Structure 1
């Protein structure tokens, strides 16, 4: 584990670095190919900055040596009020990434711990994630399970 590792909530001022890491993350998924010319980094920067500023999304960053080396994002999914059941929100977890040089050094676990601590304190009901084949073992080790009740309708299939 990295001894100078810190985890903190992300803020709008982090958006540019988070956008850069997002591009790195997606390039790993596409064997290092550069993104399409019309998918500028500025678009991701603005998107992240806007959502962190207005609270639609939350994120946590891992830092080592004063540099952001990883992140995880959370979107609150409100549930309709229910007079007979629990209306606690659901959290959609996504965009979890740690730079390759910091993997297996505790950054990923620390990010997920911070996210789960926040969600427990905010009384979330459930966290959901759509894992890739590559990330599925990590999510399962972190306590995520296959849902019994969730159904999915891929809209491009109908």
Structure 2
């Protein structure tokens, strides 16, 4: 069937594809293009790929969506087992493929991976247009004590 979406873990060989999807999202948000961005992104992503598990959604062999996770290992604490948490740094689905369950498939693969890899908390910054997707996947608002300072 031509409309089947496959979700798989991205590998080093996918660096340019992941960079293109990141660039597509930036353009959609109104950011101007940047010469050399794909190479700059690929180099940075590859340098820390172990801590940045990434999933690609593909239809007919073409990447139509991406999810990038950043994994942080907690420092040891007396009397507690080591833990990890993660931040979803990017979820993007091509506009033509939205509202067809692609984001849900990407989140499902990421959450299964997180459960199997000792991740005890996943956080993200929800765009108002995608908050419903995240709530359906089980995400909720952060505790009131979570604070942020932008520099």
Task: Please give the range of the TM-score, normalised by the shorter of the 2 chains.
Answer: 0.7 to 0.9
Determine the C-alpha separation between the residues in 1 that align with 2:129 and 2:106.
18
Matching residue within 125, 128, 134 for 1:133: 128
Structure 1 residues 105-150: Cα deviation after superposition (integer angstroms, max 9, x where no partner): 2211111000000011112110011122333232222211112264
2-structure distance, mates of 1:64, 1:121: 26
Gap regions ≥5 residues in structure 1:
none
Looking at structure 1, the residues matched to 35 and 61 of structure 2 have their Cα atoms a distance apart, in angstroms, of 31
The gaps in structure 2 that reach 5 residues or longer are none
The aligned counterpart of 2:97 is 102
Tell me if structure 2 keeps the 8 A contact 1:12–1:50.
no
Find the residue that maps to 1:110 and give its secondary structure: helix
User: Does structure 2 conserve the Cα–Cα contact (< 8 Å) formed by 1:57 and 1:76?
Assistant: yes
TM-score, normalising length: structure 2: 0.87
Per-residue Cα deviation, 1:33-65 (whole angstroms, up to 9, x for no partner): 523x4662221122223332xx12110111110
The number of residues matched between the two structures is 150
Find the aligned partners of 1:82 and 1:143 in 2 and give their Cα distance. Answer: 28
Mapping for residues 1-158 of structure 1, pairs under 5 Å: 3-30=3-30, 33-35=31-33, 37=34, 40-52=37-49, 55-148=50-143, 150-156=145-151
Let me know the Cα RMSD of the aligned residues. 2.0
With structure 1 as the length reference, what TM-score do the two structures score? 0.84
8 Å CA contact 1:93, 1:127 repeated in 2: yes
SS in structure 2 of the partner of residue 125 of structure 1: strand
